[in-house]
């Protein structure tokens, strides 16, 4: 899911001048940057690379921040993220705390939990795809990577 968010945001923002402009106008770290007039054309010549670098540095598991960037840059509402964000936090505990929460309580993950999460991620991505201009790599054309049977 995080890779999808990253790839999608980078692709659309760097390949669409309207999205690129909105991103550069609304992305908070860019708001306070100053540069001299002799640097304007150099920055414009490299703007897509500068933006791509910034987008690659984002933490796509920070769903509230990513939600805002999608809305500000492309007018895409990624939807309700509450349940997905809970899953991201559990994944964090699995990876960084050996499967336990901050209090030492072990997370129990069932097959049903995984199936529900796969369906949730599939719906989440489909919702985003429905709001984007079609491309040759849209989910409708290649199918969802989450359509799996466990």
Reported confidence tier of residue 117, pLDDT bands at 50, 70, 90: very high
The yes-or-no verdict on residue 28 having pLDDT over 50 is yes
Name residue, tokens 């990513």: 66
- Its pTM stands at 0.81
Burial class (CB in 10 A: 0-12, 13-18, 19+), 51: buried
The yes-or-no verdict on residue 134 having pLDDT over 80 is no
The yes-or-no verdict on residue 33 having pLDDT over 80 is no
pLDDT in tens, 54-80: 999 999 999 999 999 999 999 999 999
The yes-or-no verdict on residue 19 having pLDDT over 80 is yes
Of 23-32, 74-83, 84-93, give the lowest mean pLDDT range.
23-32
CA-CA-CA-CA dihedral for 65, 93, 150, 5, to nearest 10:
20
Apex 117 CA angle, 74 and 54, nearest 5: 35
Reported confidence tier of residue 38, pLDDT bands at 50, 70, 90: confident
């Amino acid at each position: 899911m995080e890779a999808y968010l990253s790839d999608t945001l980078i692709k659309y923002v760097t390949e669409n001048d309207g999205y690129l402009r909105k991103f550069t106008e609304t992305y908070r770290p860019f708001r306070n940057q100053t540069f001299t007039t002799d640097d304007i054309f150099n920055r414009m010549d490299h703007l897509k690379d500068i933006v791509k670098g910034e987008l690659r540095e984002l933490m796509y598991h920070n769903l509230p921040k990513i939600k805002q960037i999608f809305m500000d840059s492309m007018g895409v509402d990624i939807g309700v993220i509450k349940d997905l964000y809970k899953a991201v936090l559990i994944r964090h505990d699995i990876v960084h705390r050996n499967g336990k929460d901050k209090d030492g309580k072990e997370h129990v993950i069932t097959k049903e939990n995984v199936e529900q999460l796969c369906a949730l991620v599939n719906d989440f991505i489909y919702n985003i795809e429905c709001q984007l201009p079609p491309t040759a790599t849209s989910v409708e054309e290649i199918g969802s990577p989450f359509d799996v049977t466990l």
